[in-house]
Amino acid sequence: MNIETGRITAVVTSIVVAATVAAQDAPAVDPPTDRSPIKVYLLAGQSNMEGKGAVNTLPWLGEDPEHGRLLATIRNRDGSWKEGDDVWIDYLGRRGRLAVGFGSTGSPHGPLIGPEYGFGMNVGEANDAPVLLVKAAWGGKDVARDFRGPTLGGDEGPGEFYRRTIEHYTSTIAELDQRFPELAGRSTELAGIVWFQGWNDMVNEEKTAAYTANLAQMIRDLRTDLDAPDCPVVIGELGVDGDRAKGGMLVFRAAQAAVAEQPDLKSNVRFVRTAEYYDRIAHELYKQDVWKGPSKERFYRIASDRPYHYLGSGKTQFLMGKAFADAMIQMESAPPARP
């Protein structure tokens, strides 16, 4: 065992001990009648996993000619937004029943969502068991260093945000009864990982060239450290600029896709396209500087941010999350691959 692996193990052990002590003072909770494990999904990445989609732009989904029908699945008759039915989330200390508003904080455009909303609402619908989303995302981070797994870490060990992801997941599970009394007494299983990241590797040619190897090994390391060797993994495409992307963006997308083709990963890792959900209408308004002109309400009705954040489109974030859920559900229902 190397030094950094030992550190991860020590952190995990201390979290479990602390949770055990805390449980002694926790209020009694009736045991669940349904003993099926909670299905836990780890959602990780950088700023677009944090989520920059303004909730007040979500109604734009209803005007989409292909996906408009989906608005009714997430909006109540009184105009409020639905919450997950037995779907829960812990996003670095912000926790509760899944609802809109679990994206980034501090936006002048109000509450935000990331892909967790579309993902959780759809995975929850597909499962009878409770669903818990453990979200770990930080803006401006790469795989080359920040999320580097321990295998490639050498003497430096795993990257800081790889360690923090492991710690957040482990502490959430260890302290489940205290953080989510509604789920107390249940066992858990890591049912899947969603990875949505890439910008800080894409903008550097050397990092792009190493991305396939780096991300593939990170996935292997996550499965090992979380004791889930066959856990399904979804990789979200860096779909900024949609189908009109060129140059380095296309090279990077190919590097992402190649991870899911690695011989030891291809049976339970899926690369999910997101370029098709990039909002061309919002993009053109942005290019024309409508967002800062006298008619800026035309832009802010459907978007709220810059292109590298998918224009802050709630519609886009929801649709990407749903696409990730569809891929995950498909993997979960597929028969085991033959050896």
- pLDDT range class, residue 137, cuts 50, 70, 90: very high
Q: How far apart are CA 234 and CA 262, in angstroms?
A: 14
**Residue 73 confidence (pLDDT):** 97
pLDDT tens digits, 251-281: 999 999 999 999 999 999 999 999 999 999 9
pLDDT tens digits, 14-30: 444 444 444 444 444 45
The answer to whether the beta carbons of residues 208 and 250 sit under 8 Å apart is no
pLDDT tens digits, 24-64: 444 444 554 557 899 999 999 999 999 999 999 999 999 99
Domain ranges of the chain: 37-279+313-332
Mean predicted lDDT score pLDDT of the chain: 91
Integer angstrom CA distances of residue 308 from 96, 197, 240, 311: 29, 11, 6, 7
The two structure tokens encoding residue 274: 């997101």
**Residue 154 confidence (pLDDT):** 86
Q: Which residue, chain included where needed, has tokens 């989904």?
A: 61
**Residue 315 confidence (pLDDT):** 98
End-to-end CA distance of the chain: 30
pLDDT tens digits, 64-87: 999 999 999 999 999 999 999 999
Given 2.40.50.140, 3.40.50.2300, 3.40.50.1110, 3.40.50.920, which CATH number is that of 37-279+313-332? 3.40.50.1110
Residues 6+ apart with CB under 8 A from 161: 136, 138, 141, 146, 147
Phi, psi of 211 (to 5 degrees): -65, -45
- pLDDT range class, residue 337, cuts 50, 70, 90: low
- pLDDT range class, residue 155, cuts 50, 70, 90: confident
**Residue 8 confidence (pLDDT):** 53
- Write the DSSP assignment of 69-113 as a string of letters: GGHHHHB-TTSPBP--TTEEEEETTEEEE--TT-S-S--TT--EE
- Give kind and range of the element (H or E) at residue 189: strand 188-196
pLDDT tens digits, 210-259: 999 999 999 999 999 999 999 999 999 999 999 999 999 999 999 999 99
The two structure tokens encoding residue 18: 């602390």
- pTM assigned to the model: 0.90
Percent of the chain exceeding pLDDT 90 equals 87
Integer angstrom CA distances of residue 56 from 290, 312, 316: 18, 10, 13
**Residue 129 confidence (pLDDT):** 96
The yes-or-no verdict on residue 146 having pLDDT over 60 is yes
The answer to whether the beta carbons of residues 219 and 269 sit under 8 Å apart is yes
**Residue 240 confidence (pLDDT):** 98
